[in-house]
Amino acid sequence: MSIRNYSPRRNNRGRVSPAMNAMLTTVLAIAILLQIAYPLLHGDTLRIVTIAIVYWGAAAMCLHALLAYGSRYALTYAGFTFFFALFIESIGVATSWPFGEYAYSTDLGFKIFSVPLVVPFAWIMIAHPVLVISRRIAGNWVFLYGGIAMAAWDLFLDPLMVSSGRWTWKVTGAHVPFQPEIPLSNTFGWLLTGMGLIAILHLMLPRDRRKIAATFSAVDIFIAWTLFSGFIGNLFFFHRPGIAFFAGAIFGAVTLPYFFARWLGRP
């Protein structure tokens, strides 16, 4: 009779080089610093910073996707999300489906099919972190969780952009709670399109990380900052406490299981 000593399998995955990690940290930090400056700016400076926030945020998530999952993942996720968002948004502007009747202002720059170029990059900015957290905790319901997460994120985004005149809605029926300027159909539209996007990305993209891979810290920071800034911004800077508590409660409830799983260290 022999006694065997059990040794748990070690995680042999290495981390990316300090230089690449510093690049990811810098890009993400710039995106967050621009958001911190947002409530303090006005006029054309605010318009430029609004656009810059999206591009820097999308760049941070694309860079994390590349460093964590490789070039195939990053290129497929960014490319497909861009064209999916452009297709859905162009249909939305032309037909008022599925979001409701809305129109973009000229403030957001160059347009493709009446959709500002920056808009699909906002989808790119959120799609990767949502897919990451959905895969970690949702099991066979990644598409549903992902759609709810994207709709919850939009509860912060749309009222901010409408109040600054970046796009406008025609509200004829029910509206989002604490957001009379935004129809309830917009939230259902985000839920529907979010489920579709995350479902397709989940099927298309590899789940295995690179052997030398970035940690999930960038995703953790991005999601936590989105919740924190949305709550604090609406409560203290934009003077919309209803949105702060309503959207904050929903987005917080959606993301809390992910942070709990991260705290437990669940693989």
- pLDDT block averages, 10 residues each, the chain of length 267: 46 78 97 97 96 98 97 97 98 95 94 96 98 94 97 97 95 95 96 98 95 94 97 97 97 95 75
Q: How far is CA 254 from CA 130, 148, 233, 247, in A?
A: 10, 8, 19, 11
Residue type, 110: F
β partners of residue 44:
none
Query: Interior CA angle at 181 toward 179 and 182, to 5°?
Result: 75
Q: How far is CA 43 from CA 38, 48, 164, in A?
A: 11, 9, 10
What pLDDT sits at residue 131? 98
b/e map 123-148, b = 16+ CB within 10 Å: bbbbbbbbbbbbbbbbeeebbbbbbb
What pLDDT sits at residue 9? 46
**111 φψ region: left (φ > 0), alpha (ψ -120 to 50), beta (else):** beta
What pLDDT sits at residue 12? 54
Nearest to 99 by CA among 196, 198, 184, 199: 184
Q: How many Å apart are CA 13 and CA 62, to the nearest integer?
A: 21
The pTM score is 0.93
Q: What number of residues does the chain have?
A: 267
- All residues at 6 or more sequence positions from 198 whose CB lies less than 8 Å from its CB, including other chains: 127, 130, 131, 134, 142, 143, 145, 146, 147, 150
b/e map 87-99, b = 16+ CB within 10 Å: ebbbbbbeebebb
Q: How many Å apart are CA 106 and CA 102, to the nearest integer?
A: 13
What pLDDT sits at residue 266? 57
